[in-house]
Amino acid sequence: MQFTKAEEYGVFGVLYLAEKDSSLVTPLSEISEAQGIPEKFLAKIFQSLSKAGIVRSHRGVRGGFTLSKKANEITIKEILETIQGPYHLMKCVSSMSECDRSEKINGYCALRELLVIAEKQLVDVFEGHTLADLLAWQRANQIPH
């Protein structure tokens, strides 16, 4: 499993917002520059995050984004699934009818069994951690200037 660039950029963009004072509107251009993310790509990602209620879009001359909720109320799973949809290590994990090999394996697949366990654990980790956790880890490990 590997994160897509959209997922990576989405998490880093939202994490950048979490670092800011919640009353301040942060321009997309600032997030893009600070995180080294192409602004047009970030705009598409933030559009999805805004529709999902993770960030709030503010229009106008002083427009930009803020978090819609507190950082401890936004799970990593929520961010990732907003960007890419539900996590499945293989198509067959969500539905055995998606299995290309079901006829060859007589309806049972030991690999699928393992992937169901692995996927549940992965999703539990993403669901069990919030943006506040990432922010705390980042702050605890920043090298002083």
Residue 75's CATH number: 1.10.10.10
Secondary structure element (H or E) that encloses residue 49, with its range: helix 39-51
Measured distance CA(49)–CA(2) in Å, rounded: 20
Residue 145 resides in a domain: no
User: What percent helix, strand, coil does the chain show, rounded to 5?
Assistant: 60, 10, 35
How many separate domains does the chain show?
Answer: 1
Beta bridge partners of 107: none
Give the tens place of pLDDT for each residue, 52-83.
999 999 998 888 999 999 999 999 999 999 99
Residue 50 resides in a domain: yes
Residue 92 resides in a domain: yes
Residue ranges in the chain whose pLDDT is less than 50: none
Provide the residue range defining the domain that includes 90: 5-140
pTM: 0.86
